[in-house]
Amino acid sequence: MRINFKFIAYLVIAVAFSSAHAGSYDDYFSAIRQDDPRTIQQLLERGFDPNTVDPAGNHGLFIAVKDGALKAADVLVAWPKTKVEWRSPKDESPLMMAALRGHTELARKLIARDADVNKTGWAPLHYAATGGHLELMQLLLDENAYIDAESPNRTTPLMMAAQYGTTAAVKLLLEAGADPNLRNELGLSAADFALRANRRDAAELIADTIRRSRTKGKW
């Protein structure tokens, strides 16, 4: 009988623990969606693992940055046990999401926690250039982001800026030393990317840069 009583006691404890954890799990992701830093802080202080993923396999910090829940993201970045360099199934990091959304101060905090500025494949600078976020692009360059980083199909940040970003973003990269002569796997240059998007101002800026550089004997 003692064994049975012990078994029942252990079972009750296990069920109670499981229920409490399930409640914390729901509360955690609900707090992220609602951008509720107080609840997140309380859960973390009670021992909830910040690297728990949701049913779709997404990390809490990644969700917060992607959805613009910046107060929630700030709490998670500041928590020492949070893995800031977590990668999604698409190989995207929280820093890449911050770069795409133009969240400069958050990106600064992520970098301070050793988020990878120069991850292989698609890099944060590709994403910042896509959004035309000048301040964030400059931050990444100041942190030694490789200006001619190549994606898996050899697309560079300049190419992304030329098609999706802004002419100002193209200008920033060119002035910082981006190579406009590079081509991706399809043989397309940054100027081709600009023309494909009917952005003649960007294409002309790239062409002028190439002409001036050739005159100076750079290429």
CA distance 70 to 32: 9
Is residue 88 in a domain? no
Mean pLDDT for 59-83 is 98
Say whether both 105 and 29 belong to one domain: no
Q: Which residue range(s) make up the domain with 75?
A: 1-83
Please determine, for residue 188, whether its predicted confidence score (pLDDT) is greater than 70.
Answer: yes
pLDDT of residue 215: 76
- Where does a domain end: 38, 54, 83? 83
CATH number at residue 161: 1.25.40.20
Mean pLDDT for 15-24 is 48
Contact 149, 184 (CB under 8 A): no
What pTM does this model have? 0.87
Mean pLDDT for 84-96 is 96
User: Secondary structure of the chain in the HEC alphabet?
Assistant: CHHHHHHHHHHHHHHHHHHHHHHHHHHHHHHHHCCCHHHHHHHHHCCCCCCCECCCCCEHHHHHHHHCCHHHHHHHHHCCCCCCCCCCCCCCCHHHHHHHHCCHHHHHHHHHCCCCCCCCCCCHHHHHHHHCCHHHHHHHHHCCCCCCCCCCCCCCHHHHHHHCCCHHHHHHHHHCCCCCCCCCCCCCCHHHHHHHCCCHHHHHHHHHHHHHHHHCCCC
Say whether both 44 and 123 belong to one domain: no
Q: In the chain, pLDDT over 90 holds for what percent of residues?
A: 86
Count of domains for the chain? 2
User: Which band of pLDDT confidence, cut at 50, 70 and 90, is reported for residue 133?
Assistant: very high
Residue 122: Cβ-neighbour burial (10 angstroms; 0-12, 13-18, 19+): buried
User: Which band of pLDDT confidence, cut at 50, 70 and 90, is reported for residue 218?
Assistant: low
CA distance 120 to 215: 34
Say whether both 102 and 79 belong to one domain: no
User: Which band of pLDDT confidence, cut at 50, 70 and 90, is reported for residue 10?
Assistant: very low
More confident residue, 103 or 23: 103
Please determine, for residue 110, whether its predicted confidence score (pLDDT) is greater than 50.
Answer: yes
CA distance 14 to 22: 12
CATH number at residue 2: 1.25.40
